[in-house]
Amino acid sequence: MTHKKYNIEELAKKIGVSKTLVSFVLNNKADKYGVSKATQKKVQAAIKKLGFQPSSSARMLRLKKSNLIGLVVADIGNPFFAQIAMQIEQHADKAGYRIIIANTHEDPKKEIDLLNALIHSQGVDGVILTTSLKAPNSLKALMPPRYPLILLDRKLSGIAASTVGIDNFEGSHEMTKHLIAGGAKKIGLLTISPGYISPIKDRVNGYKKALEDAGIKFEPELVQEISFSQIEKDVFEAVNLLYGHKEIDGLFVLNNQIARHCLQTFEKMDIKIPHDILFSSFDDNELFSLYNPSISAVMQPVEKLGELAFEELARLIGEKDSDKKIAHEQVGLKPELIIRNSSKR
Partner DNA sequence: ATGAAAGCGCTAACAC
Partner DNA sequence: GTGTTAGCGCTTTCAT
Tell me the closest approach of the beta carbon of residue 4 to DNA, in angstroms: 12
Report the distance separating Cα 49 and Cα 60, nearest Å: 25
Q: Does 34 bind DNA (CB under 7 A)?
A: yes
146 binds, among DNA, a copy of itself, none (CB under 5 to 8 A by kind): none
Residue 264 CB, shortest distance to a copy of itself, in Å, is 7
Go through 141-179 and write b for each residue having 16 or more CB atoms within 10 A of its CB, e for each that does not: eebeeebbbbbbbbbbeebebbbbbbbbbbbbbbbbbbb
Least distance in angstroms from the C-beta of 292 to a copy of itself: 5
Residue 84, CA distances (Å) to 54, 76, 312 in order: 31, 10, 14
Give the CA angle between residues 89, 135, 176 to the nearest 5°.
75
HEC states along 84-96? HHHHHHHHHHHCC
Residues forming beta bridges with residue 204, ordered by sequence position: none
Residue 35 binding partner per list a copy of itself, DNA, none, with a CB distance cut-off of 5 to 8 Å that depends on partner kind: DNA
Residue 181 binds to DNA (criterion: CB under 7 A): no
Axis-axis angle for helices 37-50, 8-15 (nearest 10): 120
Stretch that binds DNA, among 20-28, 68-76, 102-110, 130-138 (CB under 7 A): 20-28
By a kind-dependent CB cut-off of 5 to 8 A, residue 99 interacts, out of DNA, a copy of itself, none, with a copy of itself
Q: Nearest distance from residue 290's CB to a copy of itself, in Å?
A: 5
Using CB under 7 A as the binding rule, whether residue 17 contacts DNA is answered as yes
Q: Which residues of the shown chain bind DNA in the complex (CB under 7 A)?
A: 7-9, 16-21, 23-24, 26-27, 29, 33-36, 38-39, 54-55, 58-59, 61-63
